[in-house]
Structure 1
Amino acid sequence: MADMDVKPVDAGTTAQEFVRFAVDAGVLGFGQFKTKAGRMSPYFFNAGLFHDGATLGRLAQFYAKALLDSGIEFDMVFGPAYKGIPLAATLAVELARQGRNVPFAYNRKEAKDHGEGGTLVGAPLAGRVLIVDDVMSAGTAARESIALIRQAGATPHAMLIALDRQEKATEGGGDVEYSAVQYVRRTLGLKVCAIATLADLLLYLSETRGAEVGQHRERVLAYRQRYGVGEG
């Protein structure tokens, strides 16, 4: 992946710029990918491929822009292991660069039995906590993070993700009529902010029709027609 210049996010076109950025960085790919639900998806978003300083810094700008534009109030940032850890850290750095210095924390998958011990690292969890992750497929990471935050006496308040796939979640091996994002909003009571959605991806593919990436539009549209949910 080529190095990319870090540029300020252009207000008003954040979602489309983000989709273009993710495709150019090879993070948003097209083909045949098996999801956690066992579906064969024509696209896949892998935030682990934001693996150099320039792209990670640019990603943090997109997260910060979406968050600040949303108006969501929060007191600190939490990154669930593992992908959420660099996301929370770089978001905290970008927010501080913009004049909003907030603490952040993250968890370990396994409790440490020496040194400071425990599963939590970083600032003490307190106040309204913003959980930062890449995507939500089943809401499992969200539920685990919410439990950790509540056990620490803080309030799980909102989630910030890169991409809302806007597709049906699964329960007991079957599809349900709501997405993981909708479940977190309606059932768990958290606000959810996404930089971009599947609808934004389809718009990008429509605008690039005729180019190589635009050829994937019909397959992505068919996937949405089969598994998609409305907004909310």
Structure 2
Amino acid sequence: MSHSDIESIFYAFSALLSVSSIVFLLLGLRFRRTSLNEKCHNKKYYSRVNNIIESTDELLTRKLTPNETLTHSAAEIGIGNIEYLLKNILTSENSKPYLFGINKGGALIANYLSHRMALHEKFLVKCDYRPDIDKIYCEKRDISGPIVIIDDVTRSGTTLFKVKEHIKSVYPDNPIYCFVLVVVDSNLNGDTITNLVDYAPWITENKTISLPWSGTTSENIKIDDYFDDTEMDQIIGRIKNLDAA
């Protein structure tokens, strides 16, 4: 083999390595971009949500900076994303979803979403977890459709896990989804609770993340103080337009 042949082989091998490196880099970026969503693949009903998320960039999980709070606008964007997924679940399951709002924040979001989707009050279920006595109190319903657990923020995943296990034991035959507005994870990749959450529009490493309604007593919470229907219509419209493009 001549010297020129060796050089040709060397350059060809180098070019192949370069192309491979670029491919792996792009795949790595794609994985990091959607890691929270992709790592839930072991869930029975997850693939239906996953297909919708991956087809629309607007639905991909976004990261909050360490000291960033969740503003009213960011909350509306996240809840708009969740509403879009709920409407797709309604279509795919051919049945209206039952919204289980966890504690104060989850109940606020579930209540607003039920208003947005014109769901009868029977589809809205209040669910409280009392950590001091380790008890779960959920309103009883005769449920025949998909269940969607909704929470505003999940930090350790303890509350979400206990509530979800309780609901699974009461309604073992119902499809169960879980949507959280903000996931707290120190590694910013959702590793700690991805087996619990089907979708979260926001993720942060800040354990003391503040939401617009943080610190408000349950008696004083009013939906109109936090969400605007016109703005939400614009958010949903933008997602639909991007999804159709």
Give the TM-score category using the shorter length. 0.3 to 0.5
The structure carrying a bigger helix percent of its residues is 2
The structure carrying a bigger strand percent of its residues is 1
Larger Rg: 2
Higher relative contact order (CA 8 A, sep 6+): 2
